[in-house]
Every structure is written in structure tokens, then in C-alpha cells.
Amino acid sequence: MLRIDVSLSNTLAGHQNPIFTVSPGMDAATIFTGGNDKGVVEWDLKEGKFRRILCAVPASVYALQLLEGEGILVIGLRNGEVWFVDIEKQSLISKVQTEKGAVFAIKVLPGKREIIATGEEGMAYVWSLDTYALLYRFKITDTTVRVIEPSVKAKQVAFGDKDGIVHLYDTTDFREITKQQIHSLPVTALATADTSLLSGGRDAKLVRLAKNDLSVLESLTPHMFTVYGILPHSTLPIVATISRDKSIKIWDVLSLSLLKNISIERGYDAHRLSINTATWIGSQLITAGDDKLVKVWEISAQEN
């Protein structure tokens, strides 16, 4: 069994309102955050301080997606706009619009020069990364879709909706492969881990699904409230979960056995309100949420 060691490297303060999304920056020393402040902030992890406001925006920021090769940050807004911003020049390259409601999720489609976004009205939008033209628009469901998870190996993308249903689509022609009722409340997190798909919900459940047909392989209750993020590590056999219950938990990715509980109750200087977003930057886990703080955790794993 793995032994997980955790230390709080830094707490970054500056946001005036809750933080909803965090993205890696152009290098391992920077990140971007967004939320109710109507601006995207760049932070310097090496110095542990605010770097700059990348851009002001007209609405709350719900989604960030880095296009590392292009040096572009894609920003999804509450007003339905999607912005493509040149990080170095701090200039707006392109702006596209969904038909109705907020943009909750944005992802790059692996192996394609395309980006996909979803929002309140249950529609998916696919834009070209070369021309920013709308290539496809299709209806997933009649309700909100908050999460998207493309599969790198298979030509598939999963969507999680407000009714607790996970939808699986083929990215070649965007036809529906299957859909399954997984949660009793909204799906709030999806992540590809090993050969399976992990799904988290407002019902506080974490469910392991088969990638090909979404059949349930395993189900557990990792938190007291909503699971807002599921984050497999790129090289270590661990996965982190974050929750409205203010805790971060580290799990063995294969057995889903609990390895570490990071919370105030366990003696850590952790978040005091809901944790809404997180990302891995190497061995650092970056978390942020309703307490307006960004926390930088140093995580290491050793075999016992």
C-alpha cells in the first residue's frame, strides 16, 4: 500500500469572490484561476504570489482550458460566451457564443483540432481550433451538462447531466453510443482513470464505469456532499477527489482504497468552505473554492 505525504506549500489570496475553475499555466510555475470576480488571474507558484490579471471578462468564469501548443487560454463564461485569449499578448483572438445559458465545461478533443463546450441548455458545440468556426452542434439532453470527459485512447467523449445520467458519444461523427443513469442527483465530475471512467455526483457518490458501455463496476461514497472533482495523477497510481464537504481525499486508483484525508478536521490548514476546482501540476495539487483561496499542496507517494 502507498504512503502519502502531504504538506501545504502555499496559500494564494486575492480573489474577492468564490473560485470556480483552475487551469495549468504555460509552464510548471504558473496557473490561471477564474470565478465570480469577472477576471482571469495568473499566479506565480514559484514566488507564491499574484502575477497579473490576464483579462477582464463581462461575466463569471465557469471553465478554463489551456491550449498549450498555441499559447491560448479558452475561457467559458456565464453569459454563454467562449473567449480565446493569447496568453503572452493578453489579447482576445476570437470570441464565440453558445445559444443560451452559461458555458460550464470546455475540453480539447484528442487527435482532432477541435474544442467542445457544453452548458445549461443541454447542447454541445464543437469549434475548429484553426478557424474558430462552429463545426458541429448537437443536443445531448434537455437539461444542464456540467462535465465533459474525452477519452484519449478511444474516440469517445462522455458527458454528465443534471439528471444524473452519463452519456457516451463517438467523436468521429458525434453519434450517441449509450447513456446510463448513474447518480440520483446531478453528475458533477468525470475522469478517465486506467481502463475505466470515474463519475462523481451531487449524491456524494464515486462510481467506476466500464468505458465501452458505462456499466457500473464499483460504487462508493467518498464524501459527505457533492464530489466536485476527480483528478487522476499522470504518473502516480493515485487519484484525488475534492468536495463541497471541504475535504481533499487521495485514493489508490486501482482499488479505490483511501490513502489520505486532507481536511481541517485532520489537522491541515485546509479549505473552510466548498472546494470547487483542482488540478495537478507535477507533484503539486492545486485546489480552490468558495473561501476565495488557492491552496498549493505538495504530494508524494512511497511504497510502505
* Count: domains in the chain: 1
Kindly report the pTM of this predicted structure: 0.96
Average pLDDT of span 26-53? 96
Average pLDDT of span 133-152? 96
pLDDT digits (tens, 9 = 90+) for 91-118: 999 999 998 899 999 999 988 999 999 9
The pLDDT of residue 63 is 98
> How far from 38 is each of 19, 57, 64, 99, 182, CA to CA, in Å?
11, 5, 13, 21, 34
Separation between Cα atoms, residue 253 and residue 124, nearest integer Å: 30
> How far from 111 is each of 127, 129, 140, CA to CA, in Å?
14, 12, 22
What DSSP assignment string belongs to 121-165? TSEEEEEETTT--EEEEEE--SS-EEEEEE-SSSSEEEEEETTSE
Nearest to residue 16, comparing CAs of 273, 203, 290? 290
Q: Of how many residues is the chain composed? A: 304
Residue 78: domain span: 2-303
The pLDDT of residue 194 is 77
SS3 215: coil
CATH of the domain at 195: 2.130.10.10
Separation between Cα atoms, residue 153 and residue 200, nearest integer Å: 22
Separation between Cα atoms, residue 273 and residue 292, nearest integer Å: 9
DSSP-assigned beta bridge partners for residue 12: 294
Nearest to residue 93, comparing CAs of 72, 68, 66, 115? 72
Q: Does the structure show a pLDDT above 80 at 304?
A: no
Report the 3 state secondary structure along 74-110.
Answer: EEEECCCEEEEEECCCCEEEEEEECCCCCEEEEEEEC
Confidence of residue 195 (pLDDT cuts 50, 70, 90): confident
The pLDDT of residue 119 is 81
Nearest to residue 37, comparing CAs of 16, 53, 52, 51? 16
Contacts for 248 with CB less than 8 Å, ≥ 6 apart: 240, 241, 242, 261, 262, 263, 270, 275, 278, 285, 287, 297
The pLDDT of residue 289 is 98
Q: Does the structure show a pLDDT above 90 at 120?
A: no
Contacts for 127 with CB less than 8 Å, ≥ 6 apart: 82, 96, 114, 115, 117, 133, 134, 135
Confidence of residue 1 (pLDDT cuts 50, 70, 90): confident
Confidence of residue 122 (pLDDT cuts 50, 70, 90): very high
pLDDT digits (tens, 9 = 90+) for 234-276: 999 999 999 999 999 999 999 999 999 999 999 999 999 999 9
At residue 78, φ and ψ (nearest 5 deg) are -65, -30
The pLDDT of residue 152 is 81
Integer Rg of the chain from CA: 18
Q: Does the structure show a pLDDT above 80 at 204?
A: yes
Looking only at the bridges linking them, the beta strands covering 165-170 and 123-128 are unpaired
Contacts for 219 with CB less than 8 Å, ≥ 6 apart: 205, 206, 207, 208
SS3 237: coil
Q: Does the structure show a pLDDT above 80 at 124?
A: yes
Q: Does the structure show a pLDDT above 90 at 181?
A: yes
